[in-house]
Amino acid sequence: MAGNGISLFDGLHQGLERALDLRRSQHILTAGNLANANTPGYRAKELPFDEMLTSEIAAVERGESARDIQARELEPAPWSLDGNSVNAEREAVKLTENTVLYNALAMGASRRLQMLRFAASDGKG
Partner 1 sequence: MADLLDTFNVAASGLAAERLRVQTIATNLANAHTTRTEEGGPYQRRVPVFKASQLDVFGNELDRAVSSVQVEGISVDPRPPQRVYDPSHPDAGPDGFVLMPDINVMQEMVDLMSANRTYEANAAAVEATRDMALRALDIGR
Binding site residues, partner 1, CB under 8 A:
20, 24-25, 27-32, 34-40, 42, 45, 47, 68-71, 88, 91-92, 95-96, 98-99, 102-103, 106-107, 109-110, 113
Rounded to the nearest whole angstrom, what is the least distance from the CB of residue 99 to partner 1 in the complex?
4
Rounded to the nearest whole angstrom, what is the least distance from the CB of residue 76 to partner 1 in the complex?
14
7 vs 99, which CB is nearer to partner 1? 99
Cβ-contact 45, 25 below 8 angstroms: no
4 vs 125, which CB is nearer to partner 1? 125
2 vs 67, which CB is nearer to partner 1? 67
4 vs 109, which CB is nearer to partner 1? 109
**DSSP code string of 19-84:** HHHHHHHHHHHHHHHHHTTT-TTPPPEE--HHHHHHHHHHHHHTTPPP----PEEPPPPTT-TT--
Cβ-contact 56, 66 below 8 angstroms: yes
Terminal Cα distance for the chain, rounded = 26
Rounded to the nearest whole angstrom, what is the least distance from the CB of residue 89 to partner 1 in the complex?
9
